[in-house]
């Protein structure tokens, strides 16, 4: 009888946004058995978590784990503190001028730390994250040097790391433009209508079209020559 090889396992950080859903499609396209991981961390809305749950089911993950986090309570970000306004209509120059108020302190470190814990318990050696260093909002924890440093740390942090398994942080979107990401996702069959990127949706979940995340997303679709199928508030 032919030997049946077991699929490799991966943990995929899944926010429900355009980037992380594309990463989920890439990991499944490579044949990984996927443990999807999302967080409730005091975000202003739950639309992205609802998209995450539907996309996890659609892409046939092994499990979709949703963790509650307390970091939102620490404050310091427009994404978790209703008293700080989400910027609208910023130019590209403004976006590249520094770390914006939507930055959630140490968020990707906390997310990846949880992914590492889940990976160790489930026997996964690959952690996927949808960070992007081209069309991004200036967050320090999206940069390639951060990802490389996290990987070096993770290999020392865990039982599997110390026993020789080559734990790897995969950031396949890292050097892609938003247009490249959209094209790759469409090739893999991603349904972008059910992805949520907006920082300031209206009460029905329609995207604002004007926050940094919406602007980067719309520019990506425009440059890919495709209409963004997500629902935007009119006006």
Residue 174 contacts a second copy per CB under 8 A: no
> 189 with 25: CB under 8 angstroms?
yes
105: buried, middle or exposed (CB in 10 Å: 19+, 13-18, 0-12)?
middle
Could you give the C-alpha distances from 180 to 11, 25, 172, 187, 218, in angstroms and in order? 23, 14, 11, 11, 13
> 135 with 92: CB under 8 angstroms?
no
Q: Which of 57, 99, 166, 193 binds a second copy (CB under 8 A)?
A: 99
Residue 47 contacts a second copy per CB under 8 A: no
| 147-155, 192-200, 211-219, 224-232 -> range binding a second copy (CB under 8 A) | 147-155
Residue 70 contacts a second copy per CB under 8 A: yes
CB closer to a second copy out of 51 and 160: 160
Nearest to 228 by CA among 18, 48, 75, 19: 18
Nearest to 157 by CA among 102, 187, 112, 90: 112
CB closer to a second copy out of 67 and 226: 67
Q: Which of 71, 129, 190, 208 binds a second copy (CB under 8 A)?
A: 71
Residue 116 contacts a second copy per CB under 8 A: yes
Q: Which residue has the tokens 């008293």?
A: 83
Residue 186 contacts a second copy per CB under 8 A: no
> 195 with 18: CB under 8 angstroms?
yes
Residue 130 contacts a second copy per CB under 8 A: no
Residue 158 contacts a second copy per CB under 8 A: yes
Give the residues lining the site for a second copy (CB under 8 A).
65, 67-71, 73-76, 99, 103-110, 112-114, 116-118, 120-122, 140-141, 143, 145-146, 149-150, 152-154, 156-159, 161-162
């Amino acid at each position: 009888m032919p030997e049946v090889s077991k699929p490799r396992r991966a943990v995929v950080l899944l926010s429900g946004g355009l980037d992380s859903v594309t990463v989920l499609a890439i990991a499944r396209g490579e044949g990984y058995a996927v443990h999807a991981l999302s967080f409730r961390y005091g975000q202003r809305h739950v639309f992205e978590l609802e998209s995450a749950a539907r996309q996890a089911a659609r892409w046939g993950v092994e499990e979709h784990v949703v963790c509650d986090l307390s970091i939102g309570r620490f404050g310091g970000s427009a994404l978790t503190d209703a008293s700080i306004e989400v910027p609208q209509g910023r130019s590209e120059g403004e976006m590249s001028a520094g770390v914006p108020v939507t930055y959630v302190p140490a968020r990707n470190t906390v997310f990846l730390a949880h992914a590492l814990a889940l990976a160790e318990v489930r026997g996964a050696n690959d952690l996927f994250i949808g960070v992007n260093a081209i069309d991004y909002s200036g967050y320090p924890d999206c940069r390639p040097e951060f990802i490389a440093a996290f990987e070096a740390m993770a290999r020392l942090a865990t039982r599997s790391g110390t026993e020789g398994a080559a734990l790897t942080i995969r950031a396949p979107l890292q050097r892609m433009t938003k247009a490249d990401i959209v094209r790759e996702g469409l090739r893999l069959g991603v349904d972008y209508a059910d992805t949520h990127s907006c920082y300031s949706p209206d009460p029905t979940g329609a995207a604002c079209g004007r926050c940094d995340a919406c602007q980067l997303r719309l520019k990506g679709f425009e440059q890919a020559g495709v209409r963004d199928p997500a629902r935007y508030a009119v006006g």
